[in-house]
A = this chain, B = another copy of it.
Amino acid sequence: MKIFQQEIGLRERRRGFHLITTEVINALPQVVEIKTGMCQIFIQHTSASLCINENADPTVRQDFEMYFNKAVPEGDPDYLHDDEGPDDMPAHLKAALLGSSVSIPIRNGRLALGTWQGIYLCEHRNYGHRRSIIITAWVNKSIQ
């Protein structure tokens, strides 16, 4: 059994939900020789997050942005932490609701995502940044 690990920088994206499945797969070319294992993707930030959802219709990702803006409103006068503007505290809360990592089985030499599943980068700041993610895979080379 082996562990592979790769840190990559995702280019800056506008606020919203973005498919990054291909970028993740391309970062781990070794996975193609692998039969069975697990892949984890971790984001090193507290105002952006990762999740898995629908990979086809772009309006799903627009609805995610709309929903999370309603569920975690800006401008709540009860926020104490707003140093970096009205999107600051909501970005932290959205990141906690969605999570800082996703883990996906590797099966038959590929990420075992369902037909409609893709990996989302969730950018919660108005002015995103380059975002650093770490991809780690632990694997057998034979089927067990």
A117 CB contact (under 8 Å) in B1, B100, B117: B100
CB pair A103 B40 closer than 8 Å: yes
Considering the chains assembled together, what is the distance between the CA atoms of A51 and B92 in angstroms?
A: 11
* Stoichiometry, copies per complex: 3
- Docked complex: A88-120 residues within 8 A CB-CB of B: 89, 92-93, 95-105, 107, 112-117, 120
A51 nearest in chain B by CB position: B96
The tally of residues in A whose CB lies under 8 Å from a CB in B reads: 65
Query: Which 7 A/B pairs are nearest by Cβ-Cβ distance?
Result: A44-B114, A59-B80, A59-B81, A105-B134, A52-B100, A46-B54, A51-B96
Chain A residues with a Cβ under 8 A of chain B: 1-5, 7, 36-38, 40, 42-46, 51-54, 57, 59-60, 62-64, 66-67, 70-72, 76, 78-81, 83, 89, 92-93, 95-105, 107, 112-117, 120, 132, 134, 136, 138-140, 144
